[in-house]
Amino acid sequence: MTEPALAFHNTLTRRKEPFVPADPANVRVYACGPTVYDRLHIGNGRMLIVFDVLYRLLRQCYGEAHVTYVRNITDVDDKINARAAERGIPIRDLTDEMIAVFHEDARALGCLAPTIEPRATDHIAAMIEMMERLIGRGHAYAAQGHVLFDVPSMRDYGALANKSPDEQLAGARVEVAPYKRSPTDFVLWKPSLRDEPGWQSPWGRGRPGWHLECSAMSWKHLGETFDIHGGGIDLVFPHHENEVAQSRCCFGTPLMARVWMHNGHLQVEGEKMSKSLGNFVTIRDLWDGERFGGRRWSGDALRLAMLRTHYRQPIDFTVRALEEAERLVSRWRSQIAGVPIDLNAAPSQGVMAALADDMNTPAVITELHTLFASARGGEAEAGIAAAGTDPQNPAHASMAAASARLLGLSLTSPPKEQAALRPVEEAMLAERSAARAARKWTESDRLRDALAAAGIAVKDNKDGSVSWERT
């Protein structure tokens, strides 16, 4: 396979660069996943969609078997502890429940499952090993049951975010603590109270800092250095900056990731999204019909509304944009309805060229307009057939469908009739309901996935009822 000519904007160098993986037979990508204390908001959804498109592009270019995509789950965090206490439930019950909700939301957005989805709590031993190495190398120190990273020990700390020491101090919102050598030093490990999650360590019973978790998980699954690290622009400092510091100083490497990619901020109807303004929108709000007067938005429409803006630019997420995206999705569906589709068709060269240029999805969508118009019903507009004709063009329809799939758009309409459940399917659905009632979220998630594999999409409604449809 000939290596594609991809180019991505690198936050570290602040310029667009040709993408050259260290090993084309194993392109390695890490993206920061959710902290599972609540339902994800649409800003989180943008990040999921952006890096899902990147994953699809890399698989298209290098082959599905040659891309490793790691998207972690943070299941130990002070926000999780606080929410579990607020709800009066065990922490593990909360995280298992929220992981199940996250998986449902990701599927609703049309996201592929990552190659590996590690949980932070499964990597405590790796975190302890990293801290021991950092202390041994003079980049960390223990104090009063804490382990802290010694920021002044790293000469080029702040290079990723391009922040001066004064800006670092202001941007990190640092905790003033007597055990810190420098105000900018950040926590790698901290003591746990009796009712908080904790693990035994050389420094006492405690739990890790958020930044250390991602360094440990990326190391264990992708190595000391890897190709691409992604996330939202809000993570550049301090989270990603601290990941760089931990990983490079631990392993003595010049880089953690060769390329850093970040998607832009999201606003809602022209304002910053916040619960105090009443404009805080979760992914679930958009597809379960509760928030918008019973209106349920398709996963295709949600993706398209996000991708009409370049991933690095800020986006204003509006109901009007959703409506326009839904209309466009319906139009594209109608233009290939009834046309034989070759599922092995390749995306168009124009679509590939646009995605290769720093994932220029607005240019892809422009190309899709032409492709779908040429499939059926819009041939005259595309200059392919005379007015008044309605010919089928399977080659163009197949190319259009393949190009849309590269963006994660399925363009499939829900079935109008549902075949009744078979007895074994009814039993699985009942077993899953029992598992949810018993708060056995892992078992509930397993059964939902088994039903999905059998072609049955299960949806848990806010009123406690369960609905399903065949896919």
DSSP 283: H
> Which pLDDT does position 375 carry in this prediction?
86
d(C-alpha 437, C-alpha 292), whole Å:
28
Exposure class string for 60-76: b at 16+ Cβ within 10 A, else e: bbbeeebbbbbbbbbbb
Whether omega before 178 lies within 30 degrees of 0, making that bond cis, reads no
> Which pLDDT does position 447 carry in this prediction?
85
- Is residue 223 pLDDT above 60, yes or no? yes
Average pLDDT over residues 314-333: 93
- φ, ψ of residue 313 to 5 degrees: the values are -90, 150
Q: Which of 371, 293, 314 is nearest to 339 (CA)?
A: 371
Q: Whole-model pTM?
A: 0.85
- Is residue 417 pLDDT above 50, yes or no? no
> Which pLDDT does position 385 carry in this prediction?
39
pLDDT per residue as tens digits for the range 327-357: 999 999 999 988 888 989 999 999 999 999 9
Q: Which of 341, 361, 337, 343 is nearest to 351 (CA)?
A: 361
pLDDT per residue as tens digits for the range 177-200: 889 999 999 999 999 998 899 999
Measured between its terminal Cα atoms, the distance across the chain in Å is: 34
Quick one: three-class SS letters along 308-337? CCCCCCCEEECHHHHHHHHHHHHHHHHHHC
Distance from chain centroid for Cα 416: 31
Find residue 260's DSSP bridge partners.
Answer: 229
d(C-alpha 58, C-alpha 68), whole Å:
10
Instruction: Note the helical H segments in 118-164.
Output: 124-136
Give the mean pLDDT of the chain: 89
> Which pLDDT does position 76 carry in this prediction?
95
pLDDT per residue as tens digits for the range 382-411: 343 333 345 678 899 999 999 999 999 988
> Which pLDDT does position 346 carry in this prediction?
95
The DSSP element (H or E) to which 452 belongs, if any, is helix 441-453
Average pLDDT over residues 226-238: 97
Quick one: three-class SS letters along 159-200? CCCCCCHHHHHHHCCCCCCCCCCCCCCEEEEEECCCCCCCEC
Which pair of tokens denotes residue 88?
A: 């009066």
d(C-alpha 208, C-alpha 135), whole Å:
15
